[in-house]
Structure 1
Amino acid sequence: MEQVPSCYRHPAVETGVRCTRCERPICPDCMVEASVGFQCPECVRSGSGTGHSAGASRPRTIAGGTITGGDPQLVTKILIGVNLAVFLAVLADPGLVVRLGLVGLRFDGSAGDFVGVADGQWYRLLTSMFLHQAVWHVGFNMLGVWWLGGPLEAALGRARYLALYLLSGLAGSALTYLLAPVYGFSLGASGAVFGLLGATVVLVRRLKYDMRPVMALLVLNLVLTFFWANIAWQAHIGGLIAGAVLGYGMIGGPRERRAVTQWAAGGLVLVLTVLTVVVRTAALS
């Protein structure tokens, strides 16, 4: 049996894709979509190759994003840094959980009034995505961001990747607000992480890679979601669905209609998220 070649930049990763210019084997982290096939980062930077010039046709990611210099995992590292910084802030001031966590409605004795998303504190849908109380909680979530985020950031580009993370997390928060007990607190980046997982499934299928490892990871996480106590399964499911929709819109649709499908997918997720929050708020008013 012929051995599958390994990526020239990541020897531990096997790949069947080669750069259309220099023919070096490249993995998803290194693939840059061009007018024909994929190119490696070196060929993209140099603009070398027969029939090409550096300024003739700027290669883009598989999602159509422009290639930027510097750290290919910059946004991933920033997101992890923000989550860890907020975790340290919570350790210093546990009251942040009460002030920024996701809660539909509760009575605040100190203020003598009801507070929560239903009371107009919609910012909790976003701030709760960066809150963690336990080391294991923030640890598992940040490992998920690190493992899934790097390849996605390379494939989508920074802006699309950040939109995927935030919109998936907000969708998870909205579904939690809709279905969870109104007085219960919820927090964590799990909705965003499941969004990255949903988009990863789409990416692996798009690149025609072996689906078994990513599907096994998905099944394992779903089992933990429904059989581990005190988990907001609503955030996981909401984030997963949003991530899959956004992933398909960014990389799964026809290339000639890529911009349309990306805006449509993003708009659909955002509109449904806002509609869910509005409907739930109206029901609690």
Structure 2
Amino acid sequence: MATFFGEVKYLVSRAYDEEDDDEDAPGITYSVRMELSEGGQGKMDGVEALLVSYGTLVTDFCETLVLGEQCQEVGRVYVEAQNGPSVEDTGDFHPRKPIPSCLYLTPTSLLVCCVSKDVTAAVASRFAQKVLSLIKPSCLVMVLSSHHYDALKGNYAPQGEDNCVVHSLHSSTFPHTPVYPQLPQPAILDSVPAAVVTECVVGQRQCVAYPVFTETYSTGDLDLVAGALQRVFQGKPFQKYVSVRLDAKKLHQYRTTNPRRENLDLYL
């Protein structure tokens, strides 16, 4: 009986070829640099607390209701790709320039960092280290972040008219009880919020994070989180630095001038 069925031919796997190509392609590297305004470095010595906002809704909250006319921009943090594919096209054949993360200082010695959407998880640790290097180890740190509810590992039960749920995560050195319950296990944060909390835990800094989870992808509805976030500034220790009130005039102005109000299908 014949046992030879012909010559064996090895087929090339498309997945194998793509994997090889990925290994040969150079990885994307990023630079993280900070530029402080004139006299900005000297003003850092007086900072008593740091507020980091990550996500569209909480950043809009900070820019609309936390920052006032007396706040001043003291610097920017730039994240730039050193190699890799060209930057995103804006549709008019011009590359979109990365948006820097702005640093603001309030009259109450609170430093506010509004994190740009261009700060990805790949550079989150270096970004957190760069920002935390500006302040003394004794400074208080708060992180506010907004997410869609499918990122919450645990029961999701929004209550009231805010249509959102807020949890907390804090370092062991944080001296006060957070105003919201602990993030349910598995307690997962990613990107900049996770990096800031991790750096604070390692450095024994006083830090608390408040992640906000909402049911909508809308980027134009600040009312979803305004009432809930107002609470984090009504107790110790941050009531000293921010007196947040739901200013109807500012909210109305936000709704009418927000450039993202027509893009309600964008992610948080």
**TM-score (normalizing by structure 1):** 0.25
**TM-score (normalizing by structure 2):** 0.27
Structure whose alpha-carbon radius of gyration is higher: 2
Highest relative contact order (Cα 8 Å, sep 6+), 1 or 2?
2
